[in-house]
Amino acid sequence: MKGRRLLITGASGFTGRHAVAYFAAEGAEVTAVVRRSEAEASVFPAGVQQYICDLGDRKAVAGMIGEVMPDQVLHLAGKNSVPESWQDPLLYMETNVMATLYLLEALRFQPASRILVAGSRLKYRPDSAAGPPHPYSLSKTLEELVSLAWGTLFKQPVLMAEPSNLIGPGPSTGFCSLLAQHIVRSEEAAAKGEARPAAFRLSSRHVLRDFLDVRDAVRAYGYILDHGETGKIYRIDSGAQRELGEIAGKLLAHAAVPVEMDWGPQHAEEGQAAASPASAVPAKASSASADREVLQEEPEYNAAILGWKPGIGLDRSLADIIGYTRAGKEGRI
C-alpha cells in the first residue's frame, strides 16, 4: 500500500473518513474525493489531497482520473437511504449506477488501476418475479452488474465488496448511531432540566443482523484491493448475527439517565421494522417477509480468505459510538 496512489470516493462519508485516515496512515498517497469543499478541512489528515468532483459529471470524472492516475480506486460514494430512494428513485440510479459507470469508463484508459466498488447486501435477484424490494436495491444491483460487466467487457481489474452493517464512530445514519444520538439527547435534556425526547421506537428487536466495525471493514478493503481476485465479490462481515434488541441493550447500558424506548408489540417479529431511516436497517426491507425478497445467498468469496479478520469487538464499537456522539460537533474520528 505504501507509496501507492489511492483515490477514495465518498471520502467525507462515514466509511470514507475512516478509509482516508487508515490508508493515509498506512503510507498511501491518498486522494480524497468530495462533492464540494469540506467546511472543516481538518476532516482529513495532513498530507491527504482533497479533490472536489461531482461524480455525476462524466467529463469531470474523466479529467480527475487522467490527472490523479490512481493505482487503486476505492469507490465508496453513493446514496444509501431506502426511504430516500422511494422519494427520488432516479437520483439513486444516477448516483449509484451512472456515476460508477463514469468512473469505470474513465479507468478504461488507466488499465492497471484496480477499482473496488462497495456493493450492498440489499441487492435482489434480477431473475426474481417479485422484482426489487425498493429502488435502492435496484440501484445497487445494477451497480454490481455494470461494474462486473465493465470488468469482463474491457478486461479491467474490477472488484466488489459486500459489507455487512457497518458501525463505529462517525457520521453514520445507521441504527446504532441513531440510538446513540437518542441516548445523548436524553442525557443533555436531563442536564438542562428539559423534558425527555420522545421514545425511540424499536419494534424489530428480534431481527438478526451482522454488525461489523467500520474500521475493520476499511482494513478488509485494503486486503481486497491488494490481494483480491478480479471480477469477484467479497463479503465482509463479523460472522456473528446479533439481535437488534441485544445491541440496543448494550448501548442503553452506557446511558447516564433513563432513556425512553418503545419496544413495539409483544410479537416483535410480526411488527414493523425499526423506525430508523438507517441504510443498514431499512424500514421497507427489515421485516421477515421483505427480507426473503432480498438476495441473501453466500457469495463464493469472503474477505477472510485473503487473511483478513475483524479485530474490533462489538463492545468497543458501541463505546466508541457513544463517545463520538457525546463529543458532538467536536467529535473527530
Instruction: Tell whether residue 41 is a contact of a copy of itself (CB under 8 A).
Output: no
C-alpha cell at 332: 473527530
Residues 71-130 that bind a copy of itself (CB under 8 A): 89-90, 93-94, 97-98, 101-102, 105, 125-127, 130
Q: Contacts by 125-132 with C-beta closer than 8 Å and gap 24+?
A: 125/295, 128/293, 130/293, 132/293
* Run of H or E residues at 318: helix 314-326
Which sign, positive or negative, has the C-alpha torsion 116, 121, 123, 129? positive
Instruction: Tell whether residue 299 is a contact of a copy of itself (CB under 8 A).
Output: no
Report CA-CA distances (Å) from 321 to 36, 297, 302, 306, 315: 26, 30, 26, 28, 10
* Residue among 132, 174, 228, 310 that touches a copy of itself (CB under 8 A): 132
Closest distance to a copy of itself from the beta carbon of 62 (Å): 10
Q: Rounded CA gap, 230 and 147, in Å?
A: 11
233 or 248, CB closer to a copy of itself? Answer: 233
Instruction: Tell whether residue 207 is a contact of a copy of itself (CB under 8 A).
Output: no
Instruction: Tell whether residue 59 is a contact of a copy of itself (CB under 8 A).
Output: no
46 or 129, CB closer to a copy of itself? Answer: 129
* Residue among 13, 151, 163, 264 that touches a copy of itself (CB under 8 A): 151
Closest distance to a copy of itself from the beta carbon of 57 (Å): 13
Closest distance to a copy of itself from the beta carbon of 136 (Å): 11
Residues 226-255 that bind a copy of itself (CB under 8 A): none
| Residue 140: closest CA among 79, 73, 83 | 79
Report CA-CA distances (Å) from 193 to 71, 127, 187, 208, 318: 55, 56, 10, 37, 27
Instruction: Tell whether residue 149 is a contact of a copy of itself (CB under 8 A).
Output: yes
Q: Are 245 and 174 a contacting pair, CB within 8 Å?
A: no
Instruction: Tell whether residue 134 is a contact of a copy of itself (CB under 8 A).
Output: yes
C-alpha cell at 104: 469505470
Interface positions with a copy of itself (CB under 8 A):
58, 89-90, 93-94, 97-98, 101-102, 105, 125-127, 130-132, 134-135, 138, 141-142, 145-146, 148-154
